[in-house]
Structure 1
Amino acid sequence: MALLDDVKSELAAIESELAPAKMAQATAMMRFGGGLRPVNGRAIIRASFDSLDAAQWLQEMIQQHYQREASLVPVSVETPAGVVHRYDVVVERGATALALQAGLLDSRMRLVKGLPAEIVSGNIAQIKAAWRGAFMARGSLSAPGKASYMEIICPTQEAAMALQGAARRLGIGARARQVRSSERVTLRDPDAIERMLNLIGAPRSAREWTGKRVDGDSRGKANRLANFDDANMRRSAKAAAEASEKVRHAFEILGDSVPENLRAAGQLRLDHGDASLEELGRLAEPPITKDAIAGRIRRLLQLADKTERARRQ
């Protein structure tokens, strides 16, 4: 949780945004944090956060920009894992008017199920700010050494689709999915996660997350090598050694007549004998898919086999 807290604190410290971006961030924080709801016959806005810095940012924004009174209420929740501390930003007086200003209600006084149209179709600064606000409200990030993910729990399917579309505008592929009746938007690719952290304004945390992930991968590889007696790893090592030997034999047969793209693929296989095809594809210049790298290595071996047969005739 320490790294996640650092990310949200870094995002809350951003001061250079213009008013439209700040409003987009505040709207997303209110929408994903809880939003407008009826309590005892009247409407209030309640947004809950696991980061005190995030909650304080929204409280100040509501008071200074929207000129509405907002209270910050600490909440402690008992869970099987221990006590969880959360921070609620609550607007009781003028909540409906604030919801209209922020776009949580449309002009016909209907709740907006996703994100307001002016944000979804807004400029890139607004799109980044909306993602930032959603992450500050309900975002999570994988710990170093675990399977990589960046995820936001969404209040509705429409909100998830809006967030997925916003990520697409930033050039990042995000997946909207349902998990245990909750809507989520998830990033799995480590490079995409690092880029998203940079785009929404957390470059320091992006560097730290990437560094710890790489360290974790290195430790994991060392542990795998130390336990090389595992049957699956023995089979993988044998397959990699056989593939490398076939490529080496193909180079001997073809000599200088190897097409450059096939030579580059084969050399990657020799230089990175324990790497997966997907990893080899990422190492290529420019990067290619695992199917493409597999196809090039296959064509290299087929060309060598054909040349060897022709020489025997």
Structure 2
Amino acid sequence: MALLDDVKGELAAIENDSPAAKMAQASTMMRFGGGLRPVNNQAVIRAQFDSLQAATWLQNTIAAYFQKEAVISRTTRQTPNGVVQRYDVLVERGATALALQAGLLDRRMRLVKGLSADIVGGNIAQIKAAWRGAFLARGAISDPGKASYLEIICPSHETALALQGAARRLGISAKARQLRSSERVTLRDPDAIERMLILMDAPHSAREWTGKRSDGEARGKANRLANFDDANMRRSAKAAAEASEKVRRAFEILGDDMPENLKVAGRLRLDHADASLEELGRLAEPPITKDAIAGRIRRLLQLADKTEKARRQG
């Protein structure tokens, strides 16, 4: 939790954004934190956060850029891991007008299912701010030494797709998925996580996360080397190395003259030389079975052999 707190603290301390970016971040925080809802026959905006700094940032931004008053209340909740504190940002007076300003409602007074068009079609600063706001509201990041992930729980399938598209505009591949009836957007690639932290303007947290990840990987590598006498591991390593070498040779023969699906499969094999076929299948976009990834790599090698043979005969 310490790393997550550090990331959210760094993000909530950013003050040098443009007004449009700040409004995009505030809108996304309201959308992912709770949004517009009826309470006692009155429309209110309520957004909940696990960071007091995030709640205070939203309260101040609503006052400065939307001219509405928001109040913060603290709640406690018992969980299997102990008592946790949450901070509610509540807007009662003028909530409907604020929802229109922030893009939570469209001009026909209908709830926007995803993110507002102003954000989705906005500039890169607004896209970065939207990701920052979503992370402040519902973001999580892996602890060092565990499987790498950066994940945001989304309030709807449409918001997940909007956030996935926003990541694509930033040059980062994010996966929208459903897990235990909740919609999530997840980054698994360590380099992509580091880039996203930097793009969200959390460079100190990015360095901390990368450093701890490197330490964990070094320890893991040392442990693997210490146990490398295992016969199965030796065979697996040898097979992976041979497969990578064959794919590399196929790329040299074919160049760019190959179907895109075979090229992607081959690139996955080269980029993840130690991964199993099942893991390669999960890394594909969209994910495929290990038989499918094996078949594509096999067809790539067959195409290279056929091409080389034809060149010799020609």
TM-score (normalised: structure 2): 0.77
Question: Helix, strand or coil: the match of 1:193?
Answer: helix
Question: Share of identical aligned residues, percent?
Answer: 72
CA distance in structure 2 between the aligned counterparts of 1:232 and 1:34, rounded to whole angstroms: 50
- 1:279 is displaced (CA, Å) by 4.2
- 1:239 is displaced (CA, Å) by 4.5
Match of 1:113 in 2: 113
* Matches for 1:197-212 after TM superposition, within 5 Å: 197-212=197-212
- 1:69 is displaced (CA, Å) by 1.4
- 1:280 is displaced (CA, Å) by 5.5
| Long gaps (5+) in structure 1 | 248-257, 263-275, 282-288, 307-313
CA distance in structure 2 between the aligned counterparts of 1:130 and 1:36, rounded to whole angstroms: 18
**Is 1:278 aligned to 2:271, yes or no?**
yes
Match of 1:37 in 2: 37
- CA 1:23–1:240 in structure 2 vs 1: closer, same or farther (change >3 Å)? closer
1:35-63 CA distances to partner (integer Å, 9 max, x unpaired)?
00111111111101111111110011112
**Is 1:227 aligned to 2:227, yes or no?**
yes
- 1:229 is displaced (CA, Å) by 5.0
Amino acid at match of 2:271: E
Amino acid at match of 2:79: T
Amino acid at match of 1:208: E
What RMSD over aligned residues (CA atoms) do the two structures have, in Å?
2.9
1:168-196 CA distances to partner (integer Å, 9 max, x unpaired)?
11111111111111111111111111111
Question: Helix, strand or coil: the match of 1:59?
Answer: helix
Q: Which is greater in Rg? A: 1
**Is 1:170 aligned to 2:170, yes or no?**
yes
**Is 1:70 aligned to 2:63, yes or no?**
no
- 1:235 is displaced (CA, Å) by 3.1
1:203-255 CA distances to partner (integer Å, 9 max, x unpaired)?
111111111111101101112223345454243355579x59xx8xxxxxxxx
- 1:129 is displaced (CA, Å) by 0.6
Question: Helix, strand or coil: the match of 1:74?
Answer: strand
* Matches for 1:93-172 after TM superposition, within 5 Å: 93-172=93-172
CA distance in structure 2 between the aligned counterparts of 1:278 and 1:127, rounded to whole angstroms: 29
Question: Helix, strand or coil: the match of 1:146?
Answer: coil
* Matches for 1:286-297 after TM superposition, within 5 Å: none
- 1:4 is displaced (CA, Å) by 0.8
Match of 1:4 in 2: 4
Amino acid at match of 1:186: T
- 1:86 is displaced (CA, Å) by 1.2
CA distance in structure 2 between the aligned counterparts of 1:209 and 1:133, rounded to whole angstroms: 20
- CA 1:37–1:187 in structure 2 vs 1: closer, same or farther (change >3 Å)? same
Amino acid at match of 2:40: N
- CA 1:232–1:131 in structure 2 vs 1: closer, same or farther (change >3 Å)? same
Match of 1:26 in 2: 26
Matched-pair contact (CA < 8 Å) for 2:240–2:273: no
TM-score (normalised: structure 1): 0.77
- 1:277 is displaced (CA, Å) by 4.3
| Long gaps (5+) in structure 2 | 254-268, 275-283, 285-292, 310-314
- CA 1:238–1:112 in structure 2 vs 1: closer, same or farther (change >3 Å)? closer
CA distance in structure 2 between the aligned counterparts of 1:230 and 1:200, rounded to whole angstroms: 43
CA distance in structure 1 between the aligned counterparts of 2:77 and 2:34, rounded to whole angstroms: 17
1:91-149 CA distances to partner (integer Å, 9 max, x unpaired)?
11111111111111111111111011011001111111111101110011111111111
- CA 1:34–1:231 in structure 2 vs 1: closer, same or farther (change >3 Å)? farther
Amino acid at match of 1:174: A
